[in-house]
Amino acid sequence: MKMKDHQRQSSDRISSLPDDIIEKILTFIPIRDALRTSVLSKRCRYCWTGMQKLVFDDRLINVSSDMGVVKKYKLVITIFHVLLLHKGPISELYIHISDEEIVNEIDQIILHLSRSKNIKKFIFEVYRYDGYYKLPCSFFSLHGLEHLSLKYCVIEIPSMFNGFSMLKSLIFVEVDINATMLQRFLISCPLLEEFTWIGRYVTDFIGDNKCTFVDLFKCLPSVQAVNISRFYNKDFYAGVMSQKLHTPLVYLRILVLQVCFGKQDEISSTLCVINSSPNLEKIKFKMLRYVGQTFNTSFLDPQDYSGLNLDHLRELEITNFHNYAPEMEFVKLIMAKSPLLKKARIELDNSISVDIEVKMLQDLVLQPFPRASTSAKFIIERPKKLPVKAN
Same domain, yes or no, for 130 and 237?
no
Please list the alpha-helical segments (H only) found in 143-203.
179-187
Same domain, yes or no, for 219 and 234?
yes
Same domain, yes or no, for 208 and 310?
yes
Sheet (strand 119-126) strand order: 53-56, 90-97, 119-126, 147-151, 169-173, 194-198, 225-229, 254-259, 282-287, 315-321, 343-348, 377-381
pLDDT band at 241 (very low <50, low <70, confident <90, very high): low
Same domain, yes or no, for 267 and 144?
no
Q: Are strands 225-229 and 254-259 parallel, antiparallel or unpaired?
A: parallel
Last residue of a domain, one of 135, 167, 189: 189
β-sheet bridge partners, residue 347: 381
What range does the domain containing 301 cover?
193-381
Q: What is the pLDDT of residues 41-51, one digit of tens each?
A: 555 555 666 67
Q: What DSSP character marks residue 176?
A: B
Same domain, yes or no, for 183 and 241?
no
Euclidean distance between CA atoms 308 and 102, whole angstroms: 53
Last residue of a domain, one of 139, 174, 189: 189
Euclidean distance between CA atoms 21 and 40, whole angstroms: 16
For residue 60, being part of any structural domain is answered with no
Q: Which helix (H) or strand (E) holds 259?
A: strand 254-259
For residue 7, being part of any structural domain is answered with no
For residue 261, being part of any structural domain is answered with yes
For residue 147, being part of any structural domain is answered with yes
Q: What is the pLDDT of residues 67-108, one digit of tens each?
A: 555 666 777 788 887 888 777 778 889 988 876 567 778 888
Euclidean distance between CA atoms 251 and 133, whole angstroms: 34
Same domain, yes or no, for 155 and 216?
no
Q: What is the pLDDT of residues 144-195, one digit of tens each?
A: 999 999 999 999 999 889 899 999 999 999 898 888 889 999 999 999 999 9
pLDDT of residue 190: 93
Number of domains the chain contains:
2
Same domain, yes or no, for 243 and 263?
yes
Predicted TM-score (pTM) of the model is 0.82
Same domain, yes or no, for 130 and 179?
yes
Q: What is the pLDDT of residues 314-358, one digit of tens each?
A: 999 999 998 888 888 899 899 999 999 999 999 999 989 888 888
Q: Over the Cα atoms of the chain, what is R_g? A: 26
Euclidean distance between CA atoms 62 and 74, whole angstroms: 9
Last residue of a domain, one of 171, 189, 207: 189
pLDDT band at 285 (very low <50, low <70, confident <90, very high): very high
Same domain, yes or no, for 283 and 161?
no
Query: 3-state class of 188 per DSSP?
Result: coil
94-112: burial string, b at 16+ Cβ within 10 Å, e else: bbbbebeebeebbbebbee
Same domain, yes or no, for 183 and 296?
no
The secondary structure of 262-276 as a DSSP string is: TSHHHHHHHHHHHHT
For residue 35, being part of any structural domain is answered with no
